Structures are given as structure tokens and as C-alpha cells.
Amino acid sequence: MKADFHKMIVLTAPSGAGKTTLVKHLLETYDFLDFSISACTRPRREHEIDGKDYYFFTPQEFKDKIASGGFIEYEEVYENQFYGTLKSEVNRIWESGKSIVFDIDVKGAINIKKLYKEDCLTIFVKPPSFDILVERLTNRNTETPASLKKRIARIKRELKYETRFDAVVVNDLLEVAKKEAEYLVENFILGKPFID
Ligand code: 5GP
């Protein structure tokens, strides 16, 4: 079986659906995958590392990068908080011979799919229910009440995008969701058939 590594896997989901956990799982499972580190202008969270989780840019640095054509896509995901995929990340990973995993919002995912078409698999990670998602997000304790409110409003909008992606993984039981994500990746990259 021959692997085709010049590929992209985009995981997208409403905030708190657990896509970051699935992204980490895929990166730990397959050494032919590497993570596209996005640039963003939001403040760094305590556990995050600059250059590993994100490149934390100032608003000016972000604007300069837009002006110099450095992004494949970018979005103002929350008011005054910009996130973007760097062309340099795609080049870095493909030049290393690996395929790319993205953790980005629904609009970014749709834009990347438009650009890369059959080289790109988009996976929508769906929470078991809206209430569970809100509960997870609240328990995460990373948001202020104001930003939590904004995120919840956004979740409602994002859940409507489900049908726009190549595949949907429901993140109810994490172990099942991990296996489903593995099947999708192996089928797409290694050309393995699905097992029913
Ligand atoms: P968080 O602030 O929770 O890390 O991320 C907020 C949202 O921005 C998440 O849905 C995340 O996937 C998305 N995001 C992260 N990087 C990018 C990016 O490069 N482009 C886009 N469009 N969204 C991103």
C-alpha cells in the first residue's frame, strides 16, 4: 500500500466539540502527519506555547502578514481576534514530506477545501448535543463570561455548517470518535478501504 503524503486533513467544529483532542490523537498516532500552527491575535492561554500551539501575533504583525500575502486564509473568528493559516506552514510541512493537519474554524475549513479540493479532507467534529457543548465550554474555565457568551452564539451558527464537509465525526464517546477519525485518515492518506 503506497501512502500519498501531499495531503491535508482539516478538522473543524464548533468551539469545545473536542476537535483539538482528536487532532492531538491523530498527530500522536501517525508520524506522517504534522500540525499547521496558525497565527492568531488573541492572548496566549497559560498552558499554551508560542510557536507550538499558535504563533501569537500582535494586531500589527497580523496586518503586515495579510499585506505581504502570507496567509492562505484568515478570519476574524471573534471580534478583534484574528486567526490565519500561514503559507509558510503549508510549505514547511509538505517540504518535510508529511501531510498537514489543521484545527480551524468552519469558514477557514471551507476556504481551504475550495483551494485544495481533492488533496484536502474536511472533517466536521460534532458534539453529541448543544447543551453538552455549552457545558464543556463552561467547565473548561478558559473564558470570561463575556467571551463565553460570544462563543455560545457562535456555536449556534457553526452547527448549521455540518453538511458542508466531507465527513462528520460525532464526539460522544471519545474512543469511538478517535477510531472513526483514524479510519477517515487511513482511507484518505493510505488508501485503505472503510471497514463497516
Ligand atoms: P481558540 O481561541 O479556541 O484556540 O480557537 C478559536 C477558533 O479559531 C477555533 O475554532 C479554531 O479552530 C479556530 N482557528 C484556529 N486557527 C485558525 C486558522 O488559522 N484559521 C481559521 N479560520 N480559524 C482558526
Vertex 127 angle, CA 40 and 15, to 5°: 15
For 93-145, what is each residue's pLDDT tens digit? 999 999 999 999 999 999 999 999 999 999 999 988 888 888 888 888 888 88
The domains located in the chain, with CATH, are: 8-190 (3.40.50.300)
Q: Residue 187 pLDDT more than 60?
A: yes
Question: Which whole number is the average pLDDT over 77-99?
Answer: 95
Contact in structure between 102 and 9 (CB atoms under 8 Å): yes
Query: What are the CA-CA distances from residue 186 to residues 53, 59, 83, 118, 190 (Å)?
Result: 25, 38, 28, 15, 5
For 14-32, what is each residue's pLDDT tens digit? 877 789 999 999 999 999 9
Q: Residue 5 pLDDT more than 90?
A: no
- Residue 2: CB atoms within 10 A of its CB come to 6
CA of 94 to the centre of ligand 1 (A): 21
Q: What is the model's pLDDT at position 35?
A: 98
For 167-183, what is each residue's pLDDT tens digit? 999 998 999 999 999 99
C-alpha cell at 161: 455548517
Nearest-atom index, ligand 1, CA of 75: 22
For 52-72, what is each residue's pLDDT tens digit? 999 999 999 999 999 999 999
Residue in 15, 22, 74, 77 to alter for ligand 1 test, most ligand atoms within 8 A of Cβ: 77
pLDDT band at 193 (very low <50, low <70, confident <90, very high): low
Query: pTM of the predicted model, to two decimals?
Result: 0.89
CA of 191 to the centre of ligand 1 (A): 29
Q: Residue 2 pLDDT more than 90?
A: no
Q: Residue 196 pLDDT more than 80?
A: no
Contact in structure between 149 and 40 (CB atoms under 8 Å): no
